[in-house]
Amino acid sequence: MVDQPKWLNEEEMAAWLNISDLVTLLPGVLDTSMQRHADLSFYEYMVLAMLSEKADYTLQLSYLAQLTSGSLSRLSHVLTRLEKKGWVTRSRMPGNARVRQATLTDDGLAMVQAVAPNHVADVRALIFDALSPDQVRQLAGLTDAIAANLRAGDITTLPRRGRPAEA
C-alpha cells in the first residue's frame, strides 16, 4: 500500500502558490530591468555586486557560486563574459594554486556603483514598498528560516517517491 501524501491545507496552499509566483516572477522582472538599465543579466549583476562587497574585491569561485546561487559552470560562463568587458579577472589563489578566484576590476566596480541605485529602486518598488516595517521583519525571519532549511538539506536525502502512475 502506498502512503497517502500529507496534502497542503488551504493556508499552506495559498502560501505555497504565493512563493511559487515569487520565485517564478521576480527573477524575470529583475533580469528584464537589469537588461534595460545596464545591458547586464541579473546574475551578472549579482556576481559583480558580491565581489564589490569584499574589501579586496576578491572571492574564491566556489564561494562566489554559492553566494550567487549558481553552479560553477554557470559562474564560469558569466565570468568569461565579464572578463571580456574588463570588469573581472580570474587568477590562482596565492598559496593554493588549485583554487581559483575572481577579482572585480576598477571598471567593474564603477559599473556596479552606476547600476546599484536603479537595482535598489527596483527592489524597493517591487518588494519593500508593499510591506509595513513589521512585515519586513516578519519576511526577514521567514525567508531566513526557509533558506536555512534549504541550505541544510540535500535533495538526495529527501524520501524517494514513486513516479505518478501513467494514465
Domain harbouring 134, CATH code: 1.10.10.10
pLDDT by position in tens, the chain (length 167): 667 889 999 999 999 999 999 999 999 999 999 999 899 999 999 999 999 999 999 999 999 999 999 999 999 999 999 999 999 999 999 989 899 999 999 999 999 999 999 999 999 999 999 999 999 999 999 999 998 888 887 666 665 555 555 54
Domain assignment present for 5: no
Domain assignment present for 166: no
Domain assignment present for 77: yes
Domain assignment present for 15: no
Are the C-beta atoms of 147 and 95 separated by less than 8 Å?
Answer: no
Range of the domain at 35: 20-155
Are the C-beta atoms of 112 and 104 separated by less than 8 Å?
Answer: yes
Angle between helices 72-84 and 42-52 (to 10 degrees): 80
Q: pTM for the whole thing?
A: 0.83
Domain assignment present for 7: no
Domain assignment present for 27: yes
**Structural domain total, the chain:** 1
| Region of residue 11 (left: phi > 0; alpha: psi -120 to 50; beta: else) | alpha
